[in-house]
Amino acid sequence: MKETRPKVLALYRGVLELLDEGADVNTIKVSDITAKAGIGKGTAYDYFKSREEIIACALLYDVDQKIEEEKEELLRQEGFSRKVVYAFDWMERRFREQKIFLRVLRLTTEGSGLSSTILEELQRRKKEGCGPLKVLMEMCREGKKRGEIREDIPVSAACIASFANMTAFILYLEKSEQMPEVNTSWMKEFLCKGLLNQLTA
């Protein structure tokens, strides 16, 4: 992964710290970010054209970093089914260890709750390649090649189905306190098995 400049990293950390404190992503100001980063407001514009670009890049950077950390272990799992189970387990672990990460992941994947200007910048940046979908596509290609994914299901469709079920699990984890009747283990198994029943040969 390409090395990121220290001041850019400081700006990214500033965005993430503000989100961790409960700030609304749409009302964060450049001055808020630079105050957290410990750098002058004008310095931010040496690296970015707008507030939206800083936020979009910070969100994508955080997701890519966390996924890159786990990607090797995920792809080491034997077979498509084990990879899917590992991915669901990883999301649950991440939620327990660092709830802000799943909020960031959902912002970058769904875009829900983002202003149109931030969403537009995010979509533009994602065209350059974004972690979750790249890794899922790699998983699905391998599963298809090994004959684990049904012949009649295109790789792209398998990738979208995987993405949809995993996003549903993220949404559940974020809202689980409002659904005490639904056990986390049950929901994880329900979504994981449902996905595998749909896709596997």
Q: What is the pLDDT of residues 95-143, one digit of tens each?
A: 776 656 556 666 655 555 556 666 666 666 555 555 677 888 899 999 9
Q: Is residue 1 part of a domain?
A: no
User: Amino acid letter at 12?
Assistant: Y
Residue 86 maps to a domain: yes
Domain count, the chain: 1
H or E segment to which residue 48 belongs: none
Banded model confidence at residue 145, pLDDT cuts 50, 70, 90: very high
Query: What is the extent of the structural domain holding 60?
Result: 6-199
- Collapsed DSSP state (helix, strand, coil) of residue 149: strand
Q: Which domain CATH number covers 64?
A: 1.10.357.10
What CA dihedral angle connects 122, 105, 22 and 28, to 10 degrees? -10
83 lies in some domain? yes
Residue 123: the pLDDT is 65
In a domain, 171, yes or no: yes
| Token output for 93 | 């672990």
- Look at residue 1 in the predicted model and tell me its pLDDT: 44
* 8 A C-beta contact, residue 79 and residue 148: yes
Specify the pTM: 0.69
The string of DSSP letters for 93-107 reads HHHHH-HHHHHHHHH
Residues 31-81 have pLDDT tens digits of: 999 999 999 988 899 988 888 888 888 877 887 787 788 888 888 899 999
Q: Is residue 46 part of a domain?
A: yes
Query: How much is the CA Rg of the chain, to the nearest whole Å?
Result: 18
Longest dimension (CA), the chain: 57
Tokens representing 57 are 């890049």
